[in-house]
Structure 1
């Protein structure tokens, strides 16, 4: 469960650091994440060795021609790891049935505002997401103004847009999964699903890193990795 979250946030950091807002930023991070996954490294290992992993990602980025200064990239990725851990530790303090059930309800297609579900369960990650958003702005050389309080009318309009955007992401993933099942999970169907999801990831890497876009990006990335690794039963449960 930790892998898609880490992959999503680190890919965003790589995209904003290098200015390469396409699937390559995600693939560079994926090279290291795959090595960890296949060696069955858990979240505790990642937290303990994140500086070494940041250096490995920086070297991979240099190899992929995303950066000419791997030392600087390593420092940026170290900070990205640290801020990612803050989000994950708040969102998923431990992997158990109760926490996974809360996350499942938060991203369910019938949920209009996932943050309400999380807050009701005692989880408020909006401050950590805003901190990550500011971090992305800093490494890209742009300054993001702090959010100002909204009027009730403006708040309702924004929430309506949020609901529409999140529902679209959930429906897209469900549509892809249903299409795969209908096609009998053939290699061609999986290839087309991966292409479709990769396109969505690339679009969101270019978008404003709002909490809603981060969540949608996490959904698409989870689905992408589940299909690539043929862990479709996990995607179906989620």
Structure 2
């Protein structure tokens, strides 16, 4: 009776070879392989700690039958950041340098943006809005973000130029709702961030948002109610969101009037970053004066919060 796990290859009788070797619990004839010296194919040789044997090329002979080892699929080579920028530039029909500063505007918002928001705040401070944006918990200050349950999408990952104003709008809307609600809850910043994510997931950008502020306001209200940490008057809060969009649009369109303007992209991305002492100096050096529009926004915040301007 043949022992369990031991099998004599039929081909061994044809080749008159009693020579066998152990391969993964089975017996295989060694006669035929010696006649197959093809492209450097050699007899099995010991390898590894356990002395296991294998064929040096991708051919294995088990029971006299030829098997070809499946080649590992080569993973596509990852593109460099420079190559990705070139791809984005071709996709959106913009110069590569413009794309580079559009990406920076998405990623850079930090202490510079907070200082701009402080100038627009009636109390002249950004502490409350920083708390609502969870900036105090982040080493780099404020960055665009929604709740922990928000997933990154292709539209955001590709830094779509049509939505480049939205990371900045996030700050202004949060500032408005903090003053309207009298709260600095992080649920406010999260709700606006999640609404902006949903908006871009639909392929919509800045121009669509300016034309349909009421529609976008509904997204924010839904998330505020879903979070439930801050009670809201839906009608009154919607009115504040719509007006805040209209007021902040005057500021943001001055900072980036068009994505074709390298001068504005470069100045804005630098001004809102954490690598600047005075964002207003950076903007003025590029011929961008947002002081009148910020003052108008400041008056609006004083109105909805009932606070005097300091």
TM-score under structure 2 length normalisation: 0.43
- How many Å separate the matches in 2 of 1:110 and 1:70? 38
Match of 1:9 in 2: 172
- How many Å separate the matches in 2 of 1:45 and 1:13? 21
Kindly provide the CA deviation profile for residues 163-186 of structure 1, in whole angstroms up to 9, marking residues without a partner as x.
Answer: xxxxxxxxxxxxxxxxxxxxxxxx
Quick check: which has more Rg, 1 or 2?
A: 2
Q: Highest relative contact order (Cα 8 Å, sep 6+), 1 or 2?
A: 1
Query: Greater strand share, 1 or 2?
Result: 2
The unaligned stretches of length 5 or more in structure 1 are: 146-238
Kindly provide the CA deviation profile for residues 29-73 of structure 1, in whole angstroms up to 9, marking residues without a partner as x.
Answer: 122111012222111111111122123323432343323410111
Match of 1:101 in 2: 266
Report deviation, 1:16: 1.2
Return closer, same or farther for 1:37/1:110 CA change in 2, 3 Å cut-off.
Answer: closer
Return closer, same or farther for 1:76/1:100 CA change in 2, 3 Å cut-off.
Answer: same
TM-score under structure 1 length normalisation: 0.55
Query: Greater helix share, 1 or 2?
Result: 1
Superposed CA RMSD: 2.0
Kindly provide the CA deviation profile for residues 136-178 of structure 1, in whole angstroms up to 9, marking residues without a partner as x.
Answer: 2221121215xxxxxxxxxxxxxxxxxxxxxxxxxxxxxxxxx
Kindly provide the CA deviation profile for residues 54-107 of structure 1, in whole angstroms up to 9, marking residues without a partner as x.
Answer: 233234323433234101111111111101111111111011333211224435
The unaligned stretches of length 5 or more in structure 2 are: 1-163
- How many Å separate the matches in 2 of 1:101 and 1:40? 25
Counterpart mapping for 1:34-183 below 5 A: 34-65=197-228, 66-96=230-260, 97-107=262-272, 111-145=276-310
Do the aligned residues in 1 keep the contact of 2:263 with 2:286 (CA within 8 Å)? no
